[in-house]
Amino acid sequence: MSNELPYRFHALPKDKQKLIENTSLLVYECEGTESEIKQWFQTINIAGIPLNEQEELNAVYSGPFVTKARAVFSNSRNANVQKWSTYVRGSVKRQEFLNTALNWVSHGQVEEYMQSHRHDTKIDELQAHFNDVIAWVESIFADCYNEMCGLKWGQLYDEYHNTPYNQKEMTQKAAELMDDPCVKNRKGVFEYLLGGEKDTRLLDVRVFDEATKRRVYKRQTEDARRRGVSNCPLCALGHEARRTKIWGEKEMDADHVEAWSQGGNTSEENCQMLCLTHNRAKGNR
């Protein structure tokens, strides 16, 4: 290689050829148990570009299975790689696609899986499961987003692949959430939708800023004093002593009047201050 380009040996100038021919190589011959060999790889790994975990495992569990698996998942000339990289992060050459495929099929038990399949001459299960997961995602979300790359699709598949979804609806909802300025964690959109739009924590919904909270607190409190009721509108509805309690600013927090998940936005008109107890009880941002 020269400047990342492959060079043919016989095309090299004589002196360069000699240099290569006269270079002595250090060759390690590994013997011992699998864990001993693995330790060896970790030791010699200190020099040069360190092997990552999957590269180490490939070395330790080398055999027909790894060879076949690499031909598919570690092959940058595989025409599918482009499509896969929408969902899988990393580099084909550094075995990160293979690692993902193994991770999905083994539900996170990569080493155990490689151990028990080491002498297999087929990789059908590995390949089929990987393709199933990708096809499943495509069947639900018709559009691709950068935020889809590297998500735990294998786990999501395990959890949700028996749930029926409407592709048109899911694609539309994903597009809306990706576009919603209140959604701070766009990577969480897909899991949120797959889970039936329940766990808004996945989206890290933008909360009201301090200036807005202060203005709403002031307005609400002045109004409550005038009417002789609590400045927490929920306490004001109650029958206890808290019905007329005026809470301090620090004892209250902002709440979406119309829940964000029901279409309410994060604007001042949709902001109310609730006492901490009621805010927590309502719990829906």
Q: Which residues bind Zn ion (CB under 5 A)?
A: 232, 234-235, 275, 278
DSSP-derived letter for residue 205 is B
At closest approach, how far in Å is the CB of 176 from Zn ion?
A: 32
Q: How far is the CB of 223 from Zn ion (least distance, A)?
A: 15
CA 266/CA 124 separation, integer angstroms: 49
Give the nearest distance from C-beta 254 to Zn ion in angstroms: 13
Which one, 51 or 234, has the nearer CB to Zn ion?
234
3-state secondary structure of 38: helix
Taking phi over 0 as left and psi of -120 to 50 as alpha, with beta for the rest, 47 belongs to beta
How many other CB atoms sit within 10 Å of the CB of residue 47? 8
Q: Which amino acid is at 281?
A: A
The values of phi and psi at residue 46, to 5°, are: -65, -35
Q: Looking at beta carbons only, is 206 or 242 nearer to Zn ion?
A: 242
Nearest to 157 by CA among 107, 117, 207, 123: 107
- In angstroms, the Cα distances linking 250 to 7, 254, 274 are 70, 11, 11
The SS3 of residue 272 is strand
- The C-alpha atoms of residue 63 and residue 111 are separated, in whole angstroms, by 14
Residue 266 or 272: the one with the smaller Cβ distance to Zn ion is 272
Q: Which is nearer to Zn ion, 206 or 243 (CB)?
A: 243
* Least distance (Å) between residue 273 CB and Zn ion: 9
Closer Cβ to Zn ion, 187 or 256, answer by number: 256
Please report how close the Cβ of residue 111 comes to Zn ion at its closest, in angstroms: 53
Judged by beta carbon, residue 59 or residue 234, the one nearer Zn ion is 234
Sign of CA dihedral 76, 77, 78, 81: positive
User: How far out from the chain centre does Cα 78 lie?
Assistant: 24
Query: Is 178 exposed, middle or buried, given 0-12, 13-18 or 19+ CB atoms closer than 10 A?
Result: middle
Please, what is the minimum distance in Å from the beta carbon of residue 56 to Zn ion? 57
Q: Smallest distance, Å, CB 272 to Zn ion?
A: 11
Name which of 38 and 278 has its Cβ closer to Zn ion. Answer: 278
